Structure 1
């Protein structure tokens, strides 16, 4: 078999993932805002909220408006997640909380690189395969 000229990989879930779980991150940041909720409950609620969300597709949206649309899309998921576990009304300011949460996922802190990624990328690069990332994550990925 001939080697490929290029390999495109997805980002989240292929190259890196959330340290712990989404529920653990949501729970830890909620705790900073005075709301205590088990990570396991948030994990279950997040899966439901994410699955029921409209696709994060914004046709006919100007490029400079997309980050705001993504923010609003994630806000709906986060608010539904906390609503499902019955604690949304415990936040004194959910918008401040969500600003912190959304910004947190724009940093390297909540993510980890899967252990097989670096060796695989180096091996492919060593034999001259070009590499690229194609992702359906939002504009915080760069």
Structure 2
């Protein structure tokens, strides 16, 4: 009896009309235009330094992993913020590549932090704009839930996407990061509707798909490279598939 009752309730919840769509941003709607190694090298060259993109790329990933482990979510709970956290990552990256002058390291970190607010450093996926417009045409409101720092608003603005969203929640400003349910709870408070009336689109299996579904949101996994085994009704090979997936959830 318990199982029958649970299944009935779950089915009823699934039929709640959709009102909001939440979006991940990086690697869902847009991506870094060229590799981090190339972008870091370009900035180093502007300052008269000669470094290898391959070496920088490897050093960056090592520095990123180290700082993410030691200071998760930009070190917010340890007194850091996004800018100071990225300064540590950039300094650690170049330090591994034998650039050790403190003033030079700080200048590189400062310039690179601001460089990533420029539209030329980002590439909007060709299916993003159409998917966002389709959501609007279905009468759906939209918000962002992203493990990103507070530069995200400016990045979305310069990439021409900001106007689609009613609100943005970044993990830096929320003080919590996906896959924590807390960041989705903050988003649901802004939406003002039950989780069953909200969808979430993202490319990360754990942070986006599993985490959103764990709180009752309709999580869709954007799996552009066919890496994951999820139910067909939950999977998008391209954002062009989104309108038809959402259509039957809307009144």
User: How many angstroms apart in 2 are the aligned matches of 1:93 and 1:48?
Assistant: 20
Give a deviation string over 1:84-135, Cα, whole Å, max 9, x none: 2x23237862222221111111222211111111111111111112111111
The separation in 1 between residues aligned to 2:101 and 2:113, in whole angstroms, is 19
Output the CA distance in 2 between the equivalents of 1:59 and 1:119.
Answer: 38
Range with bigger deviation, 92-101 or 111-120: 92-101
Give unmatched runs, 5+ long, in structure 2.
Answer: 1-13, 154-251
Shift of the 87–4 alpha-carbon distance from structure 1 to 2, 3 Å rule, reads farther
Bigger mean CA offset, 16-25 vs 93-102 = 93-102
CA 1:32–1:60: 2 relative to 1, 3 Å: closer
2:99 maps to: 88
Q: Distance in 1 between matches of 2:109 and 2:125?
A: 27
Which has the larger Rg? 2
Size of the aligned set, in residue pairs, is: 135
| TM-score (norm: length of structure 2) | 0.49
Write the mapping of 1:28-43 to structure 2, written as runs, cut at 5 A: 28-43=42-57
TM-score normalised by structure 1 residue count = 0.83
CA distance in 2, matches of 1:11, 1:46: 21
What's the CA shift for 1:50? 0.8
Deviations 1:6-60 (A, max 9, x none): 1111122211111111111101001101111121221222111111112114138
Cα contact 2:94–2:105 (8 A) shared by 1:
no
Report 1 or 2 for greater relative contact order, CA contacts < 8 Å, sequence distance ≥ 6. 1
